[in-house]
């Protein structure tokens, strides 16, 4: 991936901490949050997260330094924890049970697997299991996207 300044990217988070009102997110790992590349260096870059609140509850992987200034938080992040924004992908037409997905929660995307579809108050929801927790949570389709990996400069669906 050829990073450039002001490029919108996703930054990997290692985990969601259980310190405040977000108790149900304890144990989520491997999430991605959007930010803008501000400065490029050899092997790492500085990124502004789109939302300052993104750092208040999360622990970043290999963040070398946090720099505060002008009401923004600048993160020094190695290239292996940065990826471009994944392209839009439609969900398959067949059953989604067992499909690897990413769930939008707390302004980040967290990996999980669809367990099954349920109906609640005439709404179609998908029950998602997260690999690092034993919690099942129901989400509408608008909170889900097919899980994709950035490898060798190409996007592939997670099997």
Per-residue pLDDT of the chain (159 residues; tens, 9 = 90+): 788 898 999 988 765 444 333 344 455 667 888 889 988 888 888 888 776 554 544 444 444 555 555 656 677 788 888 999 999 999 887 889 999 999 998 778 889 999 999 998 999 999 999 887 778 899 999 999 999 999 888 999 998
Q: Report DSSP state, residue 86.
A: P
| Mean of the per-residue pLDDT values of the chain | 79
What are the structural domains of the chain?
Answer: 8-84 (no CATH), 100-152 (2.40.50)
| Centroid of chain to Cα 123 | 25
92-122 pLDDT, tens digit per residue, is 878 899 999 999 987 788 899 999 999 989 9
Q: How far is CA 104 from CA 1, 35, 74, 75, 126, in A?
A: 24, 15, 23, 22, 13
| Centroid of chain to Cα 90 | 18
Six-digit token string for 149:
């990996």
Whole-number Å distance between alpha carbons of 70 and 83: 26
């Amino acid at each position: 991936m050829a990073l450039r300044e002001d490029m919108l990217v996703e930054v990997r988070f290692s985990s969601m901490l259980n310190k405040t009102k977000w108790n149900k997110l304890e144990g989520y790992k491997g999430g991605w949050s959007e930010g803008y590349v501000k400065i490029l260096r050899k092997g790492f870059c500085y990124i502004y997260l789109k939302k300052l609140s993104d750092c208040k509850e999360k622990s970043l992987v290999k963040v070398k330094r946090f720099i505060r200034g002008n009401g923004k938080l600048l993160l020094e992040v190695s290239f292996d924890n940065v990826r471009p924004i994944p392209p839009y992908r439609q969900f398959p037409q067949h059953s989604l049970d067992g499909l690897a997905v990413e769930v939008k929660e707390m302004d980040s995307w967290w990996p999980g697997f669809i367990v099954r579809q349920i109906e609640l108050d005439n709404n179609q929801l998908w029950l998602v299991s997260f690999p690092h927790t034993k919690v099942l949570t129901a989400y509408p389709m608008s909170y889900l996207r097919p899980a994709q990996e950035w490898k060798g400069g190409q996007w592939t669906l997670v099997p």
